[in-house]
Amino acid sequence: MDKLLVSPSPHIHAAVSTRSVMRDVAIALCPAILVSVLYYGWSELLVLAVSVASCVLLEWAITRWLLRKPSTVGDLSAVVTGLLLAMNLPCTTPWWVVFIGAVVAIGVAKMSFGGLGQNVFNPALTGRVFLLLSFPVQMTDWTVPQGFLRNVDAVSGPTLLGKVNELGLAGVADVDYLQTLLLNIGGSAGEISALALLLGFGYLLVRRVVKPWIPLSIFATVALVSGIFHLASPEVYTGPLFNLLTGGLILGACFMATDYVTSPMNVWGGVIFGVGIGFIVMMIRYFGSYPEGVSFAILLMNMTVPLLNRAFHQKKFGRA
């Protein structure tokens, strides 16, 4: 080096970057993706590929031609959004519906707010909810296609939560909880295996990418609320274990509610955020017209994040 570098301190940096953080999230999603691809086969792979490709391409195109700024696809956040969006969709979703979801996720929820770090709502969830409201038929088609590891006749039918919503508790009288924990065929990729998701979340915890407070408070609230209702009238309301293990709760709590940008930064803010999500989820599941409410709950609580960030601050040194 012929000329010396000069800069203010510090002169070294931790081995962390936005890219490495996003890469870790993508890695953490891999077990669940693997399980879903093995069991849903090509159609799941297609949904994943279309979703990731359209999210990345859209972000690239928007930065290039609309914002005329250097491209930000290198930070891999679009990849994570694409993966999460795909994991929230039935594997039978037509490719053009997936693409519309990506347009809403990246174009509307993310880039129109100014890109990564500026969005108020979780992009993948926004895309998913838009599709749910616009294409109700495609979005609730839980046909199970031919997978790589499974060779049974295609079954079609509502998810466990859907059954409860339609038939009441009688619809899920014979639920095997071990089965729901390990492998819960029927539903979107993000619902298929609680264990795979928790494995990925464990990786995020070990890598110190996220902190456990938000998911823990969501789980605790869901368990508490459903516990109270279930105890009060067990023949009407499903119990805590059922509510924890079914639907998109684990995916939502571990991967969507912990999104840095749309969750509070402070521990206590995070706890309130999580309690809010857990409560809204249970209200929608028990009293709403939709069988599942995780997406709505997270999006609703996303709106409170600026307020929570304002209300809760770090404890300062030397100021009692």
Partner 1 sequence: MPTTIIWTIAILAGLGLLLSLVLYLVAAKFKVEEDPRIDEVEKVMPGANCGGCGFAGCRAFADAAVKAPNLDNNYCPVGGNEVMKQVAAILGFEVKEKAPQVAVLRCNGSCVNRPRTNVYDGAASCRVKAALYSGDTACSFGCLGCGDCVAACQFGALSMNPETGLPEVDQEKCTACGACVKACPKQLIELRPKGPRGMRMFVSCVNKDKGPAARKACSAACIGCGICAKTCQHGAIVVENNVAYIDPAKCKLCRECEAVCPTGAIHGVNFPKPLDKEAVKARIAERARKAKEAEAAAAKEKEENNG
Partner 2 sequence: MAKVTFSIGGVHPHDTKLARERAIEVLPLPQTLYISMAQHLGAPAKPVVAVGDRVKTGQVIAEPGGFISAFVHASASGTVKSIAPRADLAGNMVPHIEIAVDGDEWVEGVDLSDTLVTEIPSDRAAVLDKIKACGVVGLGGATFPTHVKLNPAPGSTAECLILNGAECEPYLTSDYRILLERTKEIVVGAAIMQMVLGGCRCVIGIEENKPEAIEAVRRALTELPYDNIEVLPLKKKYPQGGEKQLIDAVMHRQVKSGGLPISVGAVVQNVATSLAVYEAVQKNKPLITNTLTITGDCLPVERQHNYLFRIGMPLSYIAEYAGGVPAEAAKLISGGPMMGRAIANLDAATVKGSSSILYLRADTTLRKAESACIRCGRCADACPMGLEPFLLNRLYKAGDLEGLEQASAHDCIECGCCLYSCPAYIPLLDHIRQAKGQVMGVIRARAAAAKAAAEAAKAAEEAKKENK
Binding site for partner 2 (CB under 8 A): 1, 4-14, 16-18, 20-21, 72, 75, 77, 115-118, 260-261, 265-266, 313-319
Copy the structure tokens of residue 119.
């969005």
Smallest gap, in angstroms, from Cβ of residue 15 to partner 2? 9
Smallest gap, in angstroms, from Cβ of residue 5 to partner 1? 5
- Choose the one of partner 2, partner 1, none that binds residue 314, judging by a C-beta under 5 to 8 angstroms depending on kind: partner 2
- Choose the one of partner 2, partner 1, none that binds residue 300, judging by a C-beta under 5 to 8 angstroms depending on kind: none
Does residue 13 bind partner 1 (CB under 8 A)? no
Smallest gap, in angstroms, from Cβ of residue 12 to partner 1? 13
Does residue 6 bind partner 1 (CB under 8 A)? yes
- Which of the ranges 4-12, 214-222, 234-242, 298-306 carries the binding residues for partner 1, by CB under 8 A? 4-12
Apex CA 128: angle with CA 73 and CA 256, to 5°?
A: 65
- Choose the one of partner 1, partner 2, none that binds residue 21, judging by a C-beta under 5 to 8 angstroms depending on kind: partner 2
Does residue 208 bind partner 1 (CB under 8 A)? no
Does residue 12 bind partner 1 (CB under 8 A)? no
- Choose the one of partner 1, partner 2, none that binds residue 310, judging by a C-beta under 5 to 8 angstroms depending on kind: none
Does residue 4 bind partner 1 (CB under 8 A)? yes
Burial 31-63 (b: 16+ CB within 10 A, else e): bbbebbbbbbbebbbbbbebbbbbbbbbbbebb
Copy the structure tokens of residue 93.
């979703």
Rounded to an integer, what distance in angstroms lies between the CA atom of residue 201 and that of residue 186?
A: 22
Closest to partner 1 by CB, 18 vs 138, is: 18
Closest to partner 2 by CB, 136 vs 313, is: 313
Rounded to an integer, what distance in angstroms lies between the CA atom of residue 288 and that of residue 109?
A: 25
Question: 263: left (phi > 0), else alpha (psi -120 to 50), else beta?
Answer: beta
Smallest gap, in angstroms, from Cβ of residue 123 to partner 2? 13
Closest to partner 1 by CB, 6 vs 133, is: 6
- What does each C-alpha distance from 259 to 81, 106, 112, 287, 301 come to in angstroms? 10, 15, 18, 27, 12
Closest to partner 1 by CB, 3 vs 316, is: 3
Residue 151 has what DSSP assignment?
-
- What does each C-alpha distance from 146 to 34, 45, 181, 241 come to in angstroms? 15, 12, 22, 29
Smallest gap, in angstroms, from Cβ of residue 22 to partner 2? 9
Q: Which of 132, 142, 125 is nearest to 40 (CA)?
A: 142
Rounded to an integer, what distance in angstroms lies between the CA atom of residue 37 and that of residue 45?
A: 6
Closest to partner 1 by CB, 3 vs 68, is: 3
| Contacts to partner 1 by CB under 8 A | 3-8
